[in-house]
Amino acid sequence: MKVPLSWLKDYVDVTLPAAELARRITLAGFEVAEIITTGGSWENIIVGRITAVNPHPNADRLRLATVDLGQRQETVVCGAPNLNVGDKIAFAHSGAQLVNPYNGQMEELKPAKIRGVVSRGMICSEKELGISESHEGILVLKPEVEIGRPLVEYLGDSVLDIDVTANRPDCLSVVGIAHETAALCGRKMHIPEIACEESGEPLEGRITIEISAPDLCPRYCASLITGVTITDSPAWLQERLVACGQRPINNIVDITNYVMLEYGQPLHSFDYDRLKGHKIMVRRAAGGEKFYTLDEVERELTGDMLVIGDGERTVAIAGVMGGLNSEVTGSTTNILLEAASFKATSIHYTSRRLGLTSEASTRFERGISAGLTIPALRHATQLIAELGGGKIARGIIDVYPGKKDPALIPLTAAKVRRVLGVGFSQEQIVDTLESLGFDCRGDGAGIKVTAPYWRSDINQDVDIIEEVARINGYDKIPMTLLAEPVPPQRTEPIIGLKRKIRRGLAGHGFQEIMSYTLTGLDMLSNLAAPARPPEPLPARVVNPMTADQEYLRCSLRAGLLTTLANNRRYEEGGIRLFELGRIYLPTGESLPAEPEVLCGIMSGPRAERSWLGGDGTFDFHDAKGAIESLLGQLDVNVTFEKSLDAGLHPARQAAVVVQGGERRETIGIIGEVHPAVAAAFEVTGTVGLFEINLMALLPFAAGEKTYRAVPRFPGSYRDIALVVDAGVTHRQILDIISSYPLITGAELFDVYSGKPVAPGKKSLAYRLVYQSTTHTLTDAEVNNVQEQLLERMARELGAILRS
Amino acid sequence: MLEKIETIKLEALLNLEAIDSARDLESWRVQHLGKKSPLTQILRGLAGLSIEERKAAGAAANELKRLLEESSARKGQAIRAKEMAAEAGKESIDISLPGRPYPAGRLHPITQTIEEICDIFVSLGFQVVEGPDVEWDYYNFEALNIPAEHPARDSMSSYWVDTPAGDRGKQMLRTHGTAISARVVEKMRPPIRTIEPARVYRYEATDATHLNIYHNIDGLAVDRGITMADLKGVLFEFVRRYFGENRKIRFRTDFFPFVEPGGEIAIDCGVCHGSGCRVCKDSGWLEILGCGMTHPEVLRRGGIDPEEYTSFAFGMGLERLPMLRYGIEDIRHFYNNDLRFLRQF
Ligand SMILES: [Zn+2]
């Protein structure tokens, strides 16, 4: 809402500088986005009067104008056609900043010799002053301005561009902002008396108004002005509209716009003679009905939209836009003026469905008070009669089926303190509220408050308490830190687990990434080899903006592989990435499941590039090592089992399985990304991957730690190398070793096949730790156990001790 | 005899002074403490002396022996230290060479911001609570005083999910973290203090300062006796801890359907320090959060009696905070996942 200070001053005496007023209004809830100043650059421009106009001695089209500037006279060369002796004009001295009408730039005016005549100064056009685009002639000022005074005193203005919050449609108006200003500056409002002289024939019998949808139209008021001449509006009205960012059209349209800007109440003017049957029917539209709005677009209406009809057809979409079939034209003489109140949600619905917003609809959809209709209608009617030369029919019509008694809201100083935490006396509260136009009546211990008729946002005591707070200023509120005891903290365990895992992985050299949760079906399909859409299909948004953000992700892999490919363009070293976030799995009727999932990938050289060297690239075993280490930190013991994941290398993958008491659960998967999948994401080389469902992990990770005493007696170390069939797994060997309680550790330190090991065989070398909790083991004891162990290895696995 | 001992002492210590190598020290030891040294001779000859002489000379000779041994040990340490220093000067490594690499990962800056903010509020007695990204219309809008056709819905254009509507309305992607607060007032009973990080979605075009998928962090406190002074105290404390003690803070009235009175907190622009620039759109202020006293209707819908309890709520766009703190010019950096960006945090 653009509010010119010059207009605001019609209703309230503002003496504050524009910037300070803007600051106060901003703090009180309406952010002043910009202060547009007219005349801020008008130094060296003063009022002058033309005392003589003479021909230029050397040029036909140019003339010499002598200007009285009060203290002295100046003669300047001028090309404008409208030089008239006696006119008061804006005179710019050399040094003034003016707009160059040919390139729109601000330039400094310099003395010049034009065709042999020296000219020190200039008579300005509106364009040169930056007021408008007009450059057809010089700006002629009103006769009453004083010669020699700075121009800014007469034409300077500041326009506040105010963001009005959705709850205050009353402030989409100059009067609304004036009420705020009055309260914020401690001034009284003075709204000029509306002199709406009803001198014409009675209105009764000349129009019938019926509201058949009172649920959507609580009030409909109308006046009739006859014998009107459609013409241009006077300059003062046009200037105000322009200052507020509106284009003048003709006197009738301009007046309805002007009064809407003044009071915030949209008005609509009908050509009375084009209303069939001289009837107004406020009703729901017929479904499928076609209608041409004022912007010459054909609209299809539905049965739940509110329209204004005449005796035969629709003539306006209520609160949104009028129709071509009843609009005021150059030949209109009789005007029916409408000021109505419509249900906010209905106007919002219609405007949204039709994709049509207007100054009227943006006001109505915020819920304008029905109380504004009559003052706005009377002022507009008065102006039409004044500026259009018509007669006002007697008796304004006011159909008000939604009339309600104003609410009396009880309030006490204690209640105000209870919310704000600062004490205001009842007197202070009443003063504040009255300055905003509220009515307060003493009522025993407290007061009963009635909101002023223009306010539609006051429904309960907290609404009034906010008024007290914002007008007195939020800086009056002290600062305290919650005095009550801290509530018990029962944070969901998943939140702590996520923190541990993120820190663990960062410590392992993984960089965390975050990708968009909306993705394309292509991306998700490419995660399988061969590519195919996930089953079941992931959750889809109805109104995607682009195809690559149509589905909620059901895997974190796509984001990671994309990130890997993107970063590979400039990063040659090893890349370890992880994302910990949600995936979204449809559940049918209910909200999707949103498990937190961890996914990590590692690709490129295993060792950081260094002058110290390093070798190998990341593969399956790195992914496994990362997950073993991470889960080890969480004291979760896992085993790895064969798995079948279409996105991973078929021979290089394993399911991560946890066994905890009776429970046994697959919590994730590790492997190498399938080469076809990697290729689809433009990733080259081996990519190790791990993926853990944190919801599945959580029950195992939340357990208590189990303490075991640190060994008191030294251990004995024995190295053994076993030759077994290539198909025998480390796991099988480990299972046998771990059945001997005296062996407390078995570290695999070498895996070898090739000569001299026989073909089809492999050698596994272990360092075994023998240790007792009760005494230092003798060689004999150790040898005894190891013999049993080797014997069993030979029997069960065909293992031979390699010498 | 005592004189002789005194002479030995003077000579030995004088000689020791002049020694500066381990080899010389060794020959000094032989000369002054060795088997053939005068002192050893004296000690050996003690037996031949009278009892009185033996007593006096014995004590003096033993005292001298201890002194010489201590002195030579001290000298030995000094010589070794000197020799090592000389050695180190010869054997030099290039200390500017990069160390043997240890992989170091980092947390995403948004994770860091969420954790930092949560930690501040946890220290004030708040508890971290999360909620679903896919949300019922009821929790995102209805429960927060934003019924159908409310103009506030226009400023929060929504993504709708392709699933059947339930008794809590249609499924959508939550447009603000406040949806979690709507769930909290329904599920938890006072006293409540929650801090609620959330990924949020807006059906909007993206540019350098707007994303269609980003994060919010909301908070809520419900108890007997909570006032707007508590709101102000808690949020000003948060702003000082996150942005530093010296920032100016502006607290002004604003409107959100789910609070009354409502407010907005801004800090002075770190770029222009209040004089106006492009970053603050010439206002000198940077808005960082919206807040207010929870609307009684919101509490009532959650089954909390607003006559007994009062409450405050707040919410902020998360990405904006590190952007303001570090001067990051484009919000899209956070989700491009360029390692050259991520590794700076
Ligand atoms: Zn700035």
Percent above pLDDT 90 for chain B: 61
pLDDT band (50, 70, 90) for residue B50: confident
Answer whether B148 touches A (CB < 8 Å): yes
CA of B321 to the centre of ligand 1 (A): 15
pTM to 2 decimal places: 0.85
Q: Does A650 have pLDDT greater than 70?
A: yes
* DSSP three-state, residue A340: strand
Q: Which helix (H) or strand (E) holds A211?
A: strand A208-211
Count the Cβ atoms, other than its own, within 10 Å of residue A282.
24
Percent above pLDDT 70 for chain B: 100
pLDDT band (50, 70, 90) for residue A786: very high
CB-based contact A707:A764 (threshold 8 Å): no
Mean local confidence (pLDDT), A110-135: 85
Partners of B252 on chain A (C-beta within 8 Å) are 26-29, 31, 474
pLDDT band (50, 70, 90) for residue A27: very high
Domains of chain A by residue range: 2-39+158-185, 45-155, 208-399, 409-476, 493-701, 716-801
pLDDT at position A707: 85
State how far the alpha carbon of A723 is from the alpha carbons of A68, A730, A766, B227, in Å: 118, 12, 12, 77
Q: Which CATH number fits domain A409-476: 1.20.1300.10, 3.40.50.12280, 3.30.56.10, 3.40.50.2300?
A: 3.30.56.10
Q: Does B82 have pLDDT greater than 90?
A: no
pLDDT at position A227: 94
Q: What is the topology classification, in CATH, of domain A493-701?
A: BirA Bifunctional Protein; domain 2 (3.30.930)
Side-chain-facing half-sphere of A326: CA atoms under 13 Å = 30
CA of B267 to the centre of ligand 1 (A): 10
| Residues within 8 A of A (CB atoms), B 47-76 only | none
Count the Cβ atoms, other than its own, within 10 Å of residue A735.
12
Is A481–B100 a contact, with Cβ atoms under 8 angstroms apart? no
Interface-testing mutation among B337, B342, B345, with chain A (most A C-beta atoms within 10 A): B337
Least Cα separation, residue A732 to chain B (angstroms): 33
Closest residue, chain B, to A169 (C-alpha): B151
**Bridge partners for A761 per DSSP:** A725
Is A491–B128 a contact, with Cβ atoms under 8 angstroms apart? yes
Least Cα separation, residue A583 to chain B (angstroms): 10
Answer whether B205 touches A (CB < 8 Å): yes
pLDDT at position A612: 60
CA distance A468 to A462: 10
Which tens digits make up the pLDDT trace of B263-287?
A: 999 999 888 888 888 888 888 999 9
CA of A6 to the centre of ligand 1 (A): 29
Q: Which of A69-83, A600-614, A686-700 has the lowest mean pLDDT?
A: A600-614
The CATH architecture annotation of domain A45-155 reads Beta Barrel (2.40)
Percent above pLDDT 70 for chain A: 99
Answer whether A393 touches B (CB < 8 Å): no
Mean local confidence (pLDDT), A446-468: 96
Partners of B250 on chain A (C-beta within 8 Å) are 27
CB-based contact A192:A355 (threshold 8 Å): no
pLDDT at position A601: 97
pLDDT at position A593: 96
Closest residue, chain B, to A482 (C-alpha): B230
**Bridge partners for A10 per DSSP:** none
Answer whether A215 touches B (CB < 8 Å): no
pLDDT at position A204: 85
Partners of B254 on chain A (C-beta within 8 Å) are 29, 165
Mean local confidence (pLDDT), A414-440: 96
Q: How far is CA A356 from the centre of its chain?
A: 21
pLDDT at position B12: 87
Q: Which of A612-621, A635-644, B335-344 has the lowest mean pLDDT?
A: A612-621
CA of B300 to the centre of ligand 1 (A): 41
DSSP code string of A92-107: EPTT-EEE-TTT--EE
pLDDT at position A614: 63
CB-based contact A768:A786 (threshold 8 Å): yes
Partners of A507 on chain B (C-beta within 8 Å) are 105
Q: Does A611 have pLDDT greater than 70?
A: no
Based on its alpha-carbon atoms, the radius of gyration of chain B, rounded to whole angstroms, reads: 40
Which tens digits make up the pLDDT trace of A155-202?
A: 888 999 999 999 999 999 999 999 999 999 999 999 888 888 888 888
Count the Cβ atoms, other than its own, within 10 Å of residue B102.
8
Partners of A421 on chain B (C-beta within 8 Å) are 227-230
Range B109-342 classified under CATH 3.30.930.10: yes
Residue pointed to by tokens 């490594």: B93
pLDDT at position A105: 87
CA of B286 to the centre of ligand 1 (A): 8
Considering only the beta carbons, identify the residue of A34, A482, A545 that sits closest to B125: A482
Is A515–B337 a contact, with Cβ atoms under 8 angstroms apart? yes
CA distance A487 to B190: 8
Q: What is the topology classification, in CATH, of domain A208-399?
A: Phenylalanyl-tRNA Synthetase; Chain B, domain 3 (3.50.40)
Question: What is the CATH number assigned to the segment(s) A2-39+158-185?
Answer: 3.30.56.10
Is B127–A607 a contact, with Cβ atoms under 8 angstroms apart? no
Interface-testing mutation among A343, A484, A505, A518, with chain B (most B C-beta atoms within 10 A): A484
pLDDT at position B180: 98
Q: Which of A377-391, B9-23, B173-187 has the lowest mean pLDDT?
A: B9-23
**Which token pair is A618?**
């990341």
| Residues within 8 A of A (CB atoms), B 319-338 only | 334-338
Q: Which of A745-759, A786-800, B41-55 has the lowest mean pLDDT?
A: B41-55
Mean local confidence (pLDDT), A92-98: 91
pLDDT at position B282: 86
Which tens digits make up the pLDDT trace of B131-141?
A: 999 999 999 99
pLDDT band (50, 70, 90) for residue A446: very high
Residue pointed to by tokens 């209805």: B142
pLDDT at position A610: 63
Answer whether A474 touches B (CB < 8 Å): yes
Partners of B310 on chain A (C-beta within 8 Å) are 418-419
State chain A's mean pLDDT as an integer.
93
Answer whether B35 touches A (CB < 8 Å): no
Based on its alpha-carbon atoms, the radius of gyration of chain A, rounded to whole angstroms, reads: 42
Q: Does B336 have pLDDT greater than 90?
A: yes
A687-693 and A648-660 beta bridge pairing: unpaired
Is A470–B253 a contact, with Cβ atoms under 8 angstroms apart? yes
Answer whether A460 touches B (CB < 8 Å): yes
CA distance B132 to B200: 10
pLDDT at position B6: 86
pLDDT band (50, 70, 90) for residue A803: confident
Which tens digits make up the pLDDT trace of B315-333?
A: 999 999 999 989 899 999 9
**Bridge partners for A439 per DSSP:** A450
pLDDT at position A609: 63
Is A589–B161 a contact, with Cβ atoms under 8 angstroms apart? no
Mean local confidence (pLDDT), B156-173: 92
Which tens digits make up the pLDDT trace of A226-266?
A: 999 999 999 899 989 988 999 999 999 999 999 999 999 99
Answer whether A151 touches B (CB < 8 Å): no
| Residues within 8 A of B (CB atoms), A 593-622 only | 594, 607-612, 614
Mean local confidence (pLDDT), A499-520: 96
Is B105–A507 a contact, with Cβ atoms under 8 angstroms apart? yes
pLDDT at position B46: 84
Which tens digits make up the pLDDT trace of A550-599?
A: 999 999 999 999 999 999 999 988 999 999 999 999 998 899 999 999 99
Answer whether B93 touches A (CB < 8 Å): no
Partners of A463 on chain B (C-beta within 8 Å) are 260
pLDDT band (50, 70, 90) for residue A666: very high
Angle, helices A426-435 vs A461-472, to 10°: value is 90
Least Cα separation, residue B241 to chain A (angstroms): 14
Closest residue, chain A, to B280 (C-alpha): A33
Answer whether A511 touches B (CB < 8 Å): yes
Is A508–B161 a contact, with Cβ atoms under 8 angstroms apart? no
The span from the first CA to the last CA of chain B, in angstroms, equals 80
CA of A474 to the centre of ligand 1 (A): 23
CATH class of A716-801: alpha beta
H, E, C per residue of A432-493: HHHHCCCEEEEECCEEEEECCCCCCCCCCHHHHHHHHHHHHCHHHCCCCCCCCCCCCCCCCH
Is B160–A541 a contact, with Cβ atoms under 8 angstroms apart? yes
